[in-house]
Amino acid sequence: MSETRFQTMKDLPSCHLLGTGTALCAGCGGLEALHEIYDILGEKTVVVNAAGCMTLLAVYPFTPFRGSWLYTAMASAPAGAQGVRDALDILLAKGRLTAEEDLQTVVLTGDGAAYGMGLSATSGAIERGLDFLYLCYDNEGYGNTGQQYSGATPHGARTATSKGPCGYPGYKKDLFAIWAAHRPAYVATVVGAEPLDLARKIEQAKNRQGPRLILSLAPCPTGWDFDPSETAQIGRLAVQTGVWPLKEYRDGQVVHTKVPQKRLPVEDYLKRQGRFAHLFQPQRNEALLQEIQARIDAYWDNLQS
């Protein structure tokens, strides 16, 4: 930021929030979702931000958040959130903080922390019943360090560390199911390209207490290799092909909030991304394409059985 006279981001017009002084990639799907999420959560928040792409939002001593912001190591955000929430509760109990002044504790991480490095700390926080909202922007790889594969990388995708002819040999973890198995207060999947569905789920999460997860698919132009102008279209295709089911876990039940009645072929999604180009060129990998399609078909078929 060139104008150092601002002491806080509160002095800036709202159009600059989550934009000023950042070094994020054009077309970032994570930032697309975060814009929408933060519009609803507002400034009465403490954002505990694990190391990752979104830590580039802050340029010391400034952050683009109107509320408070805390940086942690990649594996430590839920532990940091525990300390923040405990401190707020102590201040409330001692009367040094009113209920109107209370802040919502929010964890912000990428999939590297959510699916991998921070999963143990997250599980512990859920088991303790920590009252926090966990926001994960899932760009399906370690995007801030060159798009190495993570626990969220889909089968067949080429990454900086999966360069073989068939791409990543593993399979994406089901973080939604891992969270739901803990019986938390709320879990939901979202994508910035479906803003009405996203807004409703943020309202649901905001108005509940206990551990809550918002898991957002974050199309990544640099890591997935597509033009930044296509971010929203890639997000919509992920839903229309059934690759990214929009669903929520609440009151012990899983409900799908947007079911594609006529799913598009998964190829329509894969062909738009350079990370899957090896499945089509120099020759078509029919077996792997059929495997990917079959896994998606099986998911949706099981819902109807």
Residues in the chain: 305
Per DSSP, the residues of the chain read ---TT-SSGGGS-GGGTTTTT--PPTT-HHHHHHHHHHHHH-SSEEEEEESSGGGGG-BTTB-S-SSEEEEE-TT-HHHHHHHHHHHHHHHHHTTSS-GGG--EEEEEEEHIIIIIITHHHHHHHHHTT--EEEEEEE-SSBGGGT-B--TTPPTT--BTTB-STT---S----HHHHHHHT--SEEEEEETT-HHHHHHHHHHHHT--SEEEEEEE---HHHHT--GGGHHHHHHHHHHTTSS-EEEEETTEEEEEE--SSPPPTHHHHTT-GGGGGGTSSS--HHHHHHHHHHHHHHHHHHH-
Q: What is the pLDDT of residue 23?
A: 62
Phi, then psi, of 242 in degrees rounded to 5: 85, 5
Strand order in the sheet with 186-191: 68-72, 45-50, 104-110, 132-138, 211-217, 186-191, 246-250, 253-258
Q: What is the pLDDT of residue 62?
A: 85
Q: What is the pLDDT of residue 92?
A: 97
Residue 114, Cα to own-chain centre: how many angstroms?
9
Q: What is the pLDDT of residue 63?
A: 85
The terminus-to-terminus CA distance of the chain in angstroms comes to: 55
**Environment class of 134 (CB within 10 Å of its CB; exposed 0-12, middle 13-18, buried 19+):** buried
**Helix 29-41 crosses helix 231-240 at what angle (to 10 degrees)?**
90
Residue ranges in the chain modelled with pLDDT below 50: 1-22
Structural domains present in the chain: 9-304 (3.40.50.970)
Q: What is the pLDDT of residue 60?
A: 80
Q: What is the pLDDT of residue 9?
A: 36
Q: What is the pLDDT of residue 43?
A: 92
Q: What is the pLDDT of residue 64?
A: 84
Phi, then psi, of 268 in degrees rounded to 5: -60, -30
Which residues lie closer than 8 Å to 6 by C-beta, 6 or more apart? 12, 62
d(CA 214, CA 247) in angstroms, rounded, equals: 10
d(CA 250, CA 256) in angstroms, rounded, equals: 11
CB 140 within 8 Å of CB 153: yes
**Environment class of 100 (CB within 10 Å of its CB; exposed 0-12, middle 13-18, buried 19+):** exposed
For tokens 């509940």, name the residue.
208
Q: What is the pLDDT of residue 117?
A: 95
CB 246 within 8 Å of CB 223: no
pTM (two decimals): 0.92
Q: What is the pLDDT of residue 4?
A: 32
